[in-house]
Amino acid sequence: MSTHAITEHQWETSKAPIIVAVGCLLVIPLAFASYFQYHSLGMAIAFLGIGVPTLLAGIAVWVNEGVTHKHDQFGYANMALPIFITSEAFIFLGIFAAYWTVRLLADSWPPAGTPHINLDIPILMTIILVSSSVTIHIAEGKLEAGDIPGFRSMLMVTIALAAVFLGCTFYEYSHLVAENFVPSTNIFSSAFFSITGFHAAHVLVGIGIFVSVLLPALGGKINVDFVKCAGVYWHFVDIVWFFVVSQIYFW
């Protein structure tokens, strides 16, 4: 048997997928079930406290393997990324389709019980997120030019902007909850928290990916293809936000 044939049949194993699955598909859904079905805020917080770190840890391990490990075969990212982005786009499309159906069939909108939502915050969040897309694009350019310190600096700026965006989301949530506007208030609140929360989850994953790229980069280990894939994912998150902000806040 030739060496080439042996290489083709080598398998790369990882514990990261099972860690991600436990956090995302097992523990985090238990948090939602605890809150919405059993009305236990304490249990929901406890499950989120376990599930979110588990999910982020799995993502970090997975990304770190992709960045630091030398693989026998290449080219999978370029094939897999369009499939992944397309699948994510269809998930968002399904959520928006449900929202559009409810919105167009409603006699009045927003429904009774909906407080005034300040539009200054989503405008600020839009500026922050667009800025983060610019900074990650600059970071990729510096990486291509061989400016590793510049790449790391711009990547850290991108992470900081993403964290500020996420902080704005929780700031807005806290004020709305203080006005008794929660997911169970009415149909709009259910849509509002579902759509903005789902997008915020993608921002959180993006932060995890960028941090997982940054840590090996501090030691001089950088996978250029993975950085490009992370950038494409982030631009996708940015584009989706324009749909979120236009449909939820301004329609």
pLDDT in the model for residue 10:
52
For the cut 80, the answer to whether the pLDDT of residue 189 exceeds it is yes
For the cut 70, the answer to whether the pLDDT of residue 11 exceeds it is no
Provide CATH code, domain 1-73: 1.10.287
H/E element holding 141? helix 120-144
Secondary structure (3-state) at 107: coil
Tens digit of each residue's pLDDT (9 = 90 or more) over 26-58: 888 888 888 877 888 889 899 989 988 898 888
Residues of the chain with CATH 1.20.120.80: 77-249
Tens digit of each residue's pLDDT (9 = 90 or more) over 193-239: 999 999 999 998 899 889 888 988 988 888 888 899 899 999 999 99
Beta strands in 96-185 (DSSP E): none
Under CATH, to which class is 77-249 assigned? mainly alpha
What is the percent of the chain where pLDDT is above 90?
Answer: 53
Residues of the chain with CATH 1.10.287: 1-73
